[in-house]
A and B are shown apart, each in its own frame.
Chain A
Amino acid sequence: MWNIEERNLLKLILKELIPASEDGKIPSAGLTNVINYLEKKSKEELSVKKLFNVGILRVKNFVISTKKDINYINSKDTILFLKILENEEPFFFKEFLKHTYMGYYSEPTVRPYFGVSSNPPHPIGYEVPLEESNFLESLVEPVKKRGVCYRKC
């Protein structure tokens, strides 16, 4: 649905919305899968499609206004543009940001950067040892010592 030019326009802003980590280990939201997710969303819902088209047009105009090749637009200019866009098109911006977060964090390869498994949580889950009963008893001991704390009535 989106051509290469449009995908590149989106990539330009996505990588500023969620930038890569300083050491480059955690990727930015410019990932292909995020763009694919946004495209899928826009195919599924007409209202999203319309909204995104408005956004793409704004980005296109921004790129034209810089008089630079898209690959040479610097991060500072893009961030400035995004701040203006956030101000002038708050509804689009919020929706786009929401979908960007959804696209990015639903990507299984991203979760491990935050300590969360790339696998679905079921059936394996996580290993969390049960507290030994002695340990738990010692932890609640001070609470027990204070005695009953409900009103008898």
Chain B
Amino acid sequence: MQKNEITKNPKVDVLIVGAGASGAAIAHSLTELGVSITCLEQGNWVDHTNFPSTKPDYELHRYSDFSCDPNVRKQPQDYPINSDESPITPVNYNAVGGSTINYLGHWPRFHPSDFRTRSLDGVGNDWPIDYETLEPFYDINSNIMGVSGLSGNPAYPYYKTTLPPITIGKLGQILAKGFNKLGWHWWPSDTTILSQEYEGRSKCVNAGTCDLGCAAGAKASVDITYWPLLKRKRVELRTQCRVREVTINNDGMAKGVLYYDSEGNLQEQKAEIVVMACNGIGTPRILLNSKSKLFPEGIANRSGLIGKNLMFHPLSGVVGIFDEPMDGFKGPMACSILSQEFYETDKSRDFVRGYGLHSGRYTTPMTYALGGYGTDKLIPWGNEHRKSMDEYPYLAGLTVVTEDLARESNAVTLDSGLTDSNGIPAPKISYKVDENTKKMLVHGEERAKEALLAAGAKKIISAGGDVWWRAGWHQMGTARMGNNPENSVVNSWGRCHDVKNLFIVDGSIFVTAGAVNPTCTIQALSLYIGDSIKKNVENLFD
């Protein structure tokens, strides 16, 4: 039964919106304050024993109820996303654990140069913090998530991984030899997938379907890493609660939020501090929807930058056909080896910044038939189909993961017609692949071909520069960090310039995108913001 009046809840000290990677990390950090912490999450707990990877028709779930695309998945907790004006659509998971439920656990850190792109290369902006600031928080987070990898990667300042690397497998070994022949950098991937038992979690059984949920518990989703700790520390988690807007007091401070509970009733939750952790799409969406007299364009949006500067990691793929089976479906999907030979700017190239060559393992036969190597193009029918599928066991691929540059025209806005089931406007994505990125993709595909041939590939299949449609895994930049309130939304420790008790801790606050998967940096940043709040607690709102 829906009620007409708004239910008012007792005020809490800290209110976090979103129980995913960043929300869980900040909650953990703030438990040390001994204050009351409540987290509102629109999704529910997921049952790990019931993941699609335990079912005979597991591949079908990738295209229906467990798709990474919320527009395909259409579960009650999902909100639609209008991506008609973008060649890339954002993908996610909405539940306790957020998108770590279906993420792939690849865990590379940012490079020190990623924080200094303006000074070094004249593009983007410099972050107000640097690699050293985040370094201790990368380490804390690694210990909580459990990171497997090989210490001593020369592409980074030295750090120690928690556990030995997972297997790079036959495919990784063959590709590594190819990179060695060319004298290029490569390294076993850092990953939150366990090579050994850790903190009560089992090691990886190489099932290869990490996007369909890890029923072994080997992949660190935050519902099984952070949330058990948070429960013990009495952080209150309210599930199936969808926040509509952040409300504001007359004095310009956040009052709390209005949210819909599981019955569709509107509730108010007041708080001393509000923390947004809904990811790079969900956070700007709610902030833009929080309109008031003081903030007619959305709360904390005097800079006009909320939703702007959206960055993904546009990517494309190249596949090699080898003359022996590569066992690509065995082992974690995205984590084998990573080459960062072309990561840093090289002035002799026709683009700035760089990209990584990621050796994905191979997916299952259906996924290959439906999308070749990550494209949405079906492989041919008839005799050609048979030939393509005969090649399937012999495939190994490299994906070119590029650094995106911030552009104000790449943006999240509110859709004027589309809404979620509670009537909250859906986000609309307007995005174009940058010219710099296009050049990188061309360069990257050529280098990927070279590497595959050096590794012994007999034939090459390439997407021909097409970016993958469902590659919107990483969503960054839509409420960026900076010292100047005119060209940034939050300060150097995540506090909104315009609303001093409103914090943002997800990928929205990234200033640059790097060319690596962002979640270890998102969580390190979230822990760092938590730490800064603790340090500044006496004069938090000054």
Contacts and interface: CB of A to CB of B under 8 A. Distances in A.
A108 B56 CA distance: 7
Contacts of B331: 126, 128
Contacts of B365: 105, 110-111, 114, 116
B389 A114 contact: yes
8 contacts: A97-B378, A101-B366, A102-B59, A104-B369, A106-B57, A126-B206, A126-B208, A147-B154
Interface of B: 51, 53-60, 63, 111-113, 116, 119-120, 150, 152, 154-157, 164-169, 173, 176-177, 179-180, 183, 185-188, 195, 204-209, 214-216, 325, 327, 329-331, 340-341, 343-345, 364-366, 369-370, 378, 381-383, 385-386, 389-390, 392-393
A122 B150 contact: no
Interface hub of B150, B154, B345 (most chain A Cβ within 10 A): B154
A19 B385 contact: yes
Interface of A: 16-19, 21, 26, 79, 82, 94, 97-98, 101-102, 104-106, 108, 110-111, 114-116, 118-131, 133, 136, 139-140, 142-144, 146-153
A120 B385 contact: no
Given A143-B187, A151-B120, A122 B205 contact: yes
Nearest to B168: A131
B188 A122 contact: no
Nearest to B376: A98
Contact of A124 (B155, B156, B205): B205
A150 B111 contact: yes
B167 A121 contact: no
A89 to B, nearest CB: 14
Kindly list the 9 A-B residue pairs having the minimum CB-CB distance in the complex, ordered from nearest. A125-B205, A105-B366, A121-B207, A122-B215, A125-B207, A126-B330, A151-B113, A101-B369, A122-B53
Given A19-B385, A153-B120, A130 B167 contact: yes
Interface of A is mostly: loop
Contacts of A150: 111-113, 154-157, 340, 343-344
Contacts of B120: 151, 153
A142 B185 CA distance: 9
Nearest to A133: B164
Contacts of B112: 150-153
B186 A120 contact: no
B155 A139 contact: no
B206 A125 contact: yes
B180 A142 contact: yes
Given A120-B56, A128-B330, 10 more contacts: A18-B381, A105-B365, A106-B366, A116-B365, A126-B330, A139-B176, A140-B176, A143-B185, A147-B154, A149-B344
Contacts of B155: 149-150
